[in-house]
Structure 1
Amino acid sequence: MNTAEDAGRGLDRRSLLRGAAGLTAAAGMAAALNLGSASRASAYGWSRTLQQGVTGADVTELQIRVGGWASAGAAQTYVAWDGDFGPGTAAAVKRFQSAYGLSADGVVGPQTQSVLNSLESADGSTAHFEWTEFHSNDGTGFGGGKVGATQVKENVRRLMYKLEALRKKAGNSAITVNSGFRSVAHNASVGGASNSMHVYGVASDIVVSGHSTLQVYRIAETCGFSGLEAYTHSWQHVDSRVQYPSYGSGSWWWESGTV
């Protein structure tokens, strides 16, 4: 388990807060998603109604998109990306539906699928985040990490959906990403832990407009994040380390505990 992620994060602070981005229309758009490539030109092609008890790749995609709705309060739990629509996925779907003014029945039909697709952008990123926000700040993009660039990009995509949930829970407040993915070289240059989750693309350091770091920490406790750095900094570190056991950090790390 990592200790504090780094002491040099302030060097990566962006100067402008992001505003709301336009939503992508879901109707009439269809394309199967290749999770390995994490890129596509149109909205995800849901081919059926999903509900508890079904399995498949489309359930995995659903779990990615509702991952930030893992709990109603502070809880060390997450929505598994296992393709099995179980009780945890159903509960997350209901929270998502309620937040977006849908009937919270846990059934993912056309209306819920349309809202899910409104959160994706045509290039595979999400409505309020861009790939470039998560590029390593040494100009290497998604290269030079501890996994390949394609995998980093997919990891970042999954992170984006959790951050979309955090943004929604924060009253649609703009989020600045100070540091997303880091190449191994850049991570070392800013004093990051040698096995920082940043070098895999599963972590980000964020500031939420109008919210203290403590407030952000408390929201993040509901979003399925298994790594939370102490809220005593001017940024909040979030990561999903427990969902990536092969990266060597399979234990929960909430540095300030449950607050």
Structure 2
Amino acid sequence: MTKVAAVMLAMAVVFPIIGQDQASAYSWTRNLQEGSNGADVKELQIRVAGWAADSASRTFVEVDGIFGAGTKAAVKRFQSAYGLTADGIVGPATQAKLNSLEAGDGSTQNFNFSEFYSGDGKGFNGGKVGAATVKENVRRMMYKLEAVRKKAGNTPVQVNSGFRSLQDNAAAGGVANSQHMYGIAADIVLGGYSPTSIANIAKRSGFSGVIIYSTFTHVDSCAEYPYGMQGTWYWP
């Protein structure tokens, strides 16, 4: 073994190479069930938020860290959709499935942060909240969109517009308090699905703002956030 090879081997032992899945996997340290509470319950709620209802329903999964009846029902829907035992208990099998939807950079399996960047090249900057808040809001929305994708037979979701800076929103003709400027809204298209069909899926996936346009569907989570429309359901 050459000296260089020996050094490289030593470095690999001290600093093991971590795969993307290993780096991103959330560290579940216990089984979760109704009555549990804590930061891990909050993360669970973010990940099952798209399974809020069986049919069009003005309800969403409260991200409060308290595992109540609503969270349990969402977990059971998630489990059923992915072929798991639908018992509402978040054990190793459910945790593994939840982690399989992650990506190494904190996004999700089927969505990239760049898909939601402002159209004027500002990334997540220049909105009505800071870039870090926008990124976290987008991450939460991704999990809802993963549910929409799954409910549509794993049909890819095209994001026409995600976050918008104030300037980008003005250029797009957006309303003054557009939820796009907070990173909690997206205009989406699914191949083979009409805007109305997409809206019907979104209405059972925890989205409180659902607007049907001629060529796309707008979805947002306005009722959950204190951005001027908290508690409001807008399903015209």
* Higher RCO, Cα 8 Å, sep 6+: 1
Q: Letter of the 2:139 partner, please give it.
A: R
Deviations 1:178-224 (A, max 9, x none): 00000001000110001000000000000011111111011011001
Q: How many residues align?
A: 216
Q: Matched residues in 2 for 1:93 and 1:203: separation?
A: 24
User: Which structure: larger Rg?
Assistant: 2
**Residue 253 of structure 1 aligns with which residue?**
234
**Residue 19 of structure 1 aligns with which residue?**
none
**Residue 123 of structure 1 aligns with which residue?**
105
* Match among 136, 156, 180 for residue 174 of structure 1: 156
Q: Matched residues in 2 for 1:222 and 1:240: separation?
A: 12
* Match among 241, 248, 251 for residue 222 of structure 2: 241
Question: Normalised by the size of structure 2, how large is the TM-score?
Answer: 0.90
**Residue 4 of structure 2 aligns with which residue?**
none
* Match among 180, 183, 186 for residue 204 of structure 1: 186
TM-aligned CA deviation for residue 71 of structure 1: 0.2
3-state SS of 1:204 partner: strand
Unaligned runs of 5+ in 2: 1-19
* Match among 12, 33, 44 for residue 51 of structure 1: 33
After superposition, the CA RMSD in angstroms is 0.9
1:150 aligns with 2:132: yes
* Match among 77, 102, 122 for residue 140 of structure 1: 122
1:99 aligns with 2:78: no
Q: Which runs of 4+ in 1 moved over 6 A?
A: none
Q: Letter of the 2:60 partner, please give it.
A: Y
Q: Matched residues in 2 for 1:162 and 1:197: separation?
A: 16
Deviations 1:80-108 (A, max 9, x none): 00000000000000000000000000000
* Identity of matched residues, %: 60
**Residue 6 of structure 1 aligns with which residue?**
none
Q: Matched residues in 1 for 2:146 and 2:222: separation?
A: 18
Q: Matched residues in 2 for 1:219 and 1:149: separation?
A: 29
TM-aligned CA deviation for residue 233 of structure 1: 2.0
Q: Matched residues in 2 for 1:239 and 1:147: separation?
A: 16
TM-aligned CA deviation for residue 129 of structure 1: 0.2
1:191 aligns with 2:170: no
Q: Matched residues in 2 for 1:195 and 1:118: separation?
A: 35
